């Protein structure tokens, strides 16, 4: 039944990598039928067992280049209740043959058969770092091509699957994962990110117990409620080393992220035999992809990596990978311009004179980019009207956008504009003309949220309309940046233009069209930069980040709340993309009053922006902000491209928090520290820095604040890391920051 791998043809290719150094990615094959990928400090291996199934063999710290990995052998039956098939950890399991764990692929055939058992057919190297494995059902013409690609620097492995129907009849794909990952039986702690609007990026941690924990979005897009990222560490939750929990900087961590901006699901299960399986891909809820004869469905990428330096090490690997491999300008995306955004200052009340006045003030503090937010188009006075009508509102901008853009340029900034391309207000010319263009089920209500409905981007005509208006906007105006917003999730996801049995393709085609539009715009306008915003952090994932340069993590700009939001965000994503605005005090959400310095330092932990109403600022505010924007420009590259250490977490009502970023060359470190509210005279915890060169000398420079008496001005990396320093930082909502510069 099974076709054997043609080893003679493949061996020369594989063995040529056998003795390459460990930092270079390698694919090694051990006859018969063991595949091994090495990159960074990790090894991943799988093999073909005696039944012909592709079986996971190893995922973890690097093995020796000459080490032999034992051949794959299926696990035995456990009494008569758990078959060998369900016990054996497959790389990509079909639902069939008595599988009770989560399947990667579940298929319904035209004749009613729903049994799918995938066996190995052949393997092909696909470049030095990549491998393709072909699987096939034991009798039906359903093929699955698994793709593996290992990043040499980080050891992050990109996996995906392509499902092909070579049957004579259509088949229905009921459940399709991108990849499955397996860890051997042990006690593990699962970390994942959850939230809600204005409260994104909460790091949840819990022991993995028997059964399944599902993290998902059923919303049509990534969602605020959970993010497609996970980390699994050895369960050391009771151990605390100084201010840093044991799994932050120590211990083994396996992590992953799904590159998909539609409905997604990651299932983490501890199986009946105590191993841990992760399955992630399209969310099977309401899913059903009809695959006609000859058609293929490509899954998103599911990345996985390994760190032996705890969660901190895992996030540093991910940050590096995102900068070097994922972002549009990888491997060297430039630090983000410091922006001014008008939203919190003016909301929908934008006009030429008001925006020009704000632009002058923004330029005076050293802002690089002026962004006009919502309200400039159609009949947009509030959120009841205008979405879909992408012409410049003639009452607000009688001469179009050009005078404002010219003014912004004359002030030495570039210009950015807000759009929300996938939405329509029923009160718009577009909806009056094309009421059928929205997601809906005929004859059923069309639920509005924020008075808007989702355009069905899966339709070709809608896709063409959206791309055409954006192309026109960018062609006719000198726009450097688009803030691409998306302010609701789906309801009634009908697509009545296609046959009933193809309508659920909407979950895939909508997102594919979104990506295609972004790719086309970037090709036609190569200098454009784009932010992914979805009412804050509702669309942040490694899929959209291939096409967007930055994201808006949250509409919550309260600087104290932001400490936790930013802390959670950095577990999965680099500070380079983490836009952080300084806004007004008291804050509109929590009513909290904070100093401008505190607000500035909170935002300077990411990519700095200003979103305050500058019309209300005093001369002292302008002077303070101007100084800190200049300081930020000087150290920004370290903050956004360096190695991040979360020295003290703001989570769990901590009264303190601190982060440190060290430049990749270890020439500079930038440290931020915050107190929430000191009590009973407790001092700020000892700050023992990390990641410095132990033998280099570093000079301390204050950005804001001071240390306790006796702190040296120049000391070795060892001193700053081992002895450490104590800040003189007390009170409510106080902040300090300093830099260490390596001495020649
Ligand atoms: C939601 C975004 O997150 C805000 O920053 C702002 O752009 C509004 N939408 C505008 O409607």
Is 310 found in the same domain as 354?
Answer: no
- pLDDT at residue 459, as a whole number: 98
Q: Is 343 in the pocket of ligand 1 (CB under 6 A)?
A: yes
Q: Is residue 493 part of a domain?
A: yes
Q: Which atom of ligand 1 is nearest to the CA of 555?
A: 3
Averaged pLDDT of the chain: 94
Q: Is 561 in the pocket of ligand 1 (CB under 6 A)?
A: no
Q: Is 373 in the pocket of ligand 1 (CB under 6 A)?
A: yes
Q: Which atom of ligand 1 is nearest to the CA of 535?
A: 3
Answer whether 595's CB lies under 8 Å from 612's CB: no
Is 232 found in the same domain as 364?
Answer: no
Measured distance CA(88)–CA(99) in Å, rounded: 10
Q: Is 535 in the pocket of ligand 1 (CB under 6 A)?
A: yes
Among 296, 326, 356, identify where a domain stops: 326
To test the pocket of ligand 1, the residue of 418, 534, 557 to mutate (highest count of ligand atoms within 8 Å of its CB) is 418
DSSP character string of 573-589 = S-GGGBEEEE--SS-TT
Q: For this structure, is 38 an active site residue?
A: no
pLDDT tens digit string along 338-357?
A: 999 999 999 999 999 999 99
pLDDT tens digit string along 2-20?
A: 333 333 233 323 332 332 3
Whether pLDDT at 33 is above 90: no
Q: With H, G, I as helix, E, B as strand and everything else as coil, classify residue 321.
A: helix
Q: How far is the CA of 545 from the centre of ligand 1 (A)?
A: 19
Q: With H, G, I as helix, E, B as strand and everything else as coil, classify residue 735.
A: strand
pLDDT tens digit string along 269-290?
A: 999 999 999 999 999 999 999 9
Answer whether 203's CB lies under 8 Å from 571's CB: yes
pLDDT tens digit string along 531-580?
A: 999 999 999 999 999 999 999 999 999 999 999 999 999 999 999 999 99
Q: CA gyration radius for the chain? A: 27
Mean pLDDT of 92-103: 96
Query: Among 48, 22, 244, 33, which Cα is nearest to 136's?
Result: 48
Nearest CA to ligand 1 atom 1: 535
Measured distance CA(518)–CA(520) in Å, rounded: 6
Largest Cα span, the chain:
81
Measured distance CA(11)–CA(27) in Å, rounded: 11
Q: How many domains does the chain fold into?
A: 3
Any idea what the CATH number is for the domain that residue 562 is in? 3.20.20.70
Q: Is 485 in the pocket of ligand 1 (CB under 6 A)?
A: yes
pLDDT tens digit string along 588-619?
A: 999 999 999 999 999 999 999 999 999 999 99
Is 182 found in the same domain as 115?
Answer: yes
Q: At a CB cut-off of 8 Å and minimum separation 6, what does 496 contact?
A: 436, 440, 441, 442, 503
Is 565 found in the same domain as 424?
Answer: yes
The DSSP H or E segment spanning 9 is: helix 7-15
Whether pLDDT at 371 is above 50: yes
Is 389 found in the same domain as 520?
Answer: yes
pLDDT tens digit string along 210-257?
A: 999 999 999 999 999 999 999 999 876 655 555 556 589 999 999 999
Catalytic choice (247, 485, 561, 741): 485
Is 350 found in the same domain as 293?
Answer: no
Mean pLDDT of 644-660: 96
Nearest CA to ligand 1 atom 9: 535
The DSSP H or E segment spanning 484 is: strand 481-484
Mean pLDDT of 367-392: 98
Q: Is residue 1 part of a domain?
A: no
Q: Which atom of ligand 1 is nearest to the CA of 418?
A: 7
Q: What pTM does this model have? A: 0.95
Q: How far is the CA of 374 from the centre of ligand 1 (A)?
A: 7
Q: Is 376 in the pocket of ligand 1 (CB under 6 A)?
A: no
Among 623, 641, 659, identify where a domain stops: 641
- pLDDT at residue 158, as a whole number: 98
Residue span of the structural domain in which 728 resides: 645-742
- pLDDT at residue 126, as a whole number: 84
Is 129 found in the same domain as 206?
Answer: yes
Q: Is 302 in the pocket of ligand 1 (CB under 6 A)?
A: no
Any idea what the CATH number is for the domain that residue 715 is in? 2.60.40.1180
Is 169 found in the same domain as 234?
Answer: yes
- pLDDT at residue 247, as a whole number: 85
Nearest CA to ligand 1 atom 3: 535
Among 583, 610, 641, identify where a domain stops: 641
Is 655 found in the same domain as 633?
Answer: no
Number of alpha helices (DSSP H) and beta strands (DSSP E) in the chain: 14, 38
Q: How far is the CA of 496 from the centre of ligand 1 (A)?
A: 31
Catalytic choice (151, 555, 558, 567): 555
Q: For this structure, is 485 an active site residue?
A: yes
Nearest CA to ligand 1 atom 6: 343
Q: Which atom of ligand 1 is nearest to the CA of 483?
A: 7
Is 656 found in the same domain as 537?
Answer: no
> CA distances (Å), 144 to each of 4, 16, 102, 161, 676, in order?
16, 27, 17, 7, 53
- pLDDT at residue 6, as a whole number: 32
pLDDT band at 80 (very low <50, low <70, confident <90, very high): very high
Q: Is 672 in the pocket of ligand 1 (CB under 6 A)?
A: no
Q: Is the dihedral of CA 161, 162, 166, 168 positive or negative?
A: positive
CB burial class (10 A; 0-12, 13-18, 19+) of residue 651? middle
Whether pLDDT at 411 is above 90: yes
DSSP character string of 217-284 = E-SSS--SSEEEEEEEEES-TT-EETTEEHHHHSB-EEEEEEE-SSSEEEEEEE-TTS-EEEEEEE--
Q: Is residue 521 part of a domain?
A: yes
Q: What are the E-state strand segments in 631-731?
A: 643-648, 656-662, 668-677, 697-704, 714-716
- pLDDT at residue 123, as a whole number: 95
Spacing of C-alpha 180 from chain mean position: 19
Residue 297: beta bridge partners? 163
pLDDT tens digit string along 487-544?
A: 999 999 999 999 999 999 999 999 999 999 999 999 999 999 999 999 999 999 999 9
Measured distance CA(33)–CA(11) in Å, rounded: 11
Q: How far is the CA of 363 from the centre of ligand 1 (A)?
A: 22
Nearest CA to ligand 1 atom 5: 555
């Amino acid at each position: 039944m099974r076709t054997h791998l043609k080893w003679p043809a493949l061996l020369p290719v594989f063995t040529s990598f056998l003795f390459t150094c460990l930092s270079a990615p390698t694919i090694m094959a051990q006859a018969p039928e063991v595949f091994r990928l090495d990159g960074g400090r990790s090894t991943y291996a799988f093999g073909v067992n005696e039944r012909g199934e592709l079986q996971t063999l190893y995922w973890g710290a690097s093995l020796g280049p000459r080490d032999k990995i034992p051949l794959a052998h299926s696990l035995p039956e456990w009494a008569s209740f758990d078959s060998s098939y369900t016990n054996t950890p497959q790389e990509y399991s079909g639902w069939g043959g008595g599988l009770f764990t989560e399947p990667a692929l579940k298929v319904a055939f035209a004749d009613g058969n729903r049994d799918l058992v995938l066996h190995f057919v052949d393997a092909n190297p696909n470049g030095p770092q990549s491998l393709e494995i072909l699987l096939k059902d034991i009798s039906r013409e359903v093929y699955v091509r698994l793709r593996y690609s290992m990043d040499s620097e980080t050891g992050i492995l990109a996996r995906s699957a392509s499902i092909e129907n070579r049957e004579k009849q259509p088949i229905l794909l009921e459940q399709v994962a991108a990849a499955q990952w397996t860890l051997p039986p042990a006690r593990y702690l699962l970390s994942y990110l959850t939230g809600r609007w204005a409260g994104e990026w909460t790091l949840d941690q819990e022991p993995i117990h028997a059964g399944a924990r599902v993290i998902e979005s059923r919303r049509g897009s990534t969602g605020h409620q959970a993010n497609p990222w996970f980390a699994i560490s050895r369960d050391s939750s009771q151990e605390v080393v100084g201010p840093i929990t044991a799994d932050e900087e120590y211990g083994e961590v396996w992590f992953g992220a799904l590159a998909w901006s539609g409905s997604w699901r990651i299932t983490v299960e501890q199986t009946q035999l105590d191993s841990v399986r992760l399955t992630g891909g399209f969310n099977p809820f309401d899913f059903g992809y009809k695959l006609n004869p000859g058609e293929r469905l490509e899954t998103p990428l599911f990345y996985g990596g390994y760190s032996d330096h705890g969660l901190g090490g895992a996030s540093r690997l991910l940050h590096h990978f995102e900068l070097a491999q994922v972002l549009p300008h990888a491997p060297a995306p430039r630090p983000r311009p410091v922006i001014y955004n008008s939203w919190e200052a003016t909301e929908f009340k934008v006009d030429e004179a008001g925006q020009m006045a704000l632009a002058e003030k923004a330029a005076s503090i050293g802002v690089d980019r002026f962004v006009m937010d919502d309200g400039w188009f159609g009949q947009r006075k509030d959120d009841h009207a205008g979405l879909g009508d992408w012409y410049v509102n003639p009452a607000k901008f009688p001469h179009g956008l050009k005078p404002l853009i010219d003014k912004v340029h004359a002030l030495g900034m570039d210009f950015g504009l807000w759009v929300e391309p996938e939405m329509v207000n029923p009160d718009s010319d577009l909806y009056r003309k094309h009421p059928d263009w929205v997601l809906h089920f005929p004859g059923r209500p069309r639920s509005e949220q924020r008075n808007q409905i989702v355009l069905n981007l899966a339709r070709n005509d809608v896709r063409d309309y959206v791309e055409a208006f954006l192309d026109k906007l960018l062609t006719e105006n000198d726009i450097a940046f688009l803030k691409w917003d998306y302010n609701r999730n789906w309801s009634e996801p009908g697509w009545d233009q296609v046959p009933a049995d193809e309508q659920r393709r909407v979950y895939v085609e909508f997102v594919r069209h979104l990506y295609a539009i972004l790719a086309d715009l970037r090709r036609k306008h190569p200098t454009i930069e784009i932010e992914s915003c979805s009412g804050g952090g509702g669309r942040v994932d490694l899929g959209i980040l291939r096409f967007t340069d930055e994201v808006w993590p949250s509409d919550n700009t309260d600087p104290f709340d932001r400490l936790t939001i930013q802390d959670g965000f950095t577990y999965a994503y680099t500070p380079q993309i983490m836009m952080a605005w300084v806004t007004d005090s008291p804050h509109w959400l929590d009513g909290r009053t904070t100093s401008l310095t505190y607000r500035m330092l909170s935002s300077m932990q990411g990519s700095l922006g200003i979103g305050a109403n500058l019309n209300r600022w005093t001369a002292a505010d302008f002077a303070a902000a101007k100084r800190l924007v200049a300081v930020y420009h000087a150290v920004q590259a370290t903050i956004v491209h360096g190695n991040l250490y979360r020295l003290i977490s703001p989570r769990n009502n901590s009264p303190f928090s601190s982060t440190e970023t060290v430049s990749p060359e270890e020439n500079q470190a930038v440290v931020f520290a915050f107190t929430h509210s000191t009590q009973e005279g407790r001092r700020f915890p000892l700050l023992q820095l990390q990641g410095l060169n132990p033998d280099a000398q570093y000079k301390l420079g204050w950005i804001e604040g001071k240390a306790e008496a006796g702190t040296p001005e120049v000391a070795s990396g060892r001193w700053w890391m081992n002895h450490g320093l104590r800040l003189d930082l007390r009170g409510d909502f106080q902040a300090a920051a300093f830099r260490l510069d390596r001495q020649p």
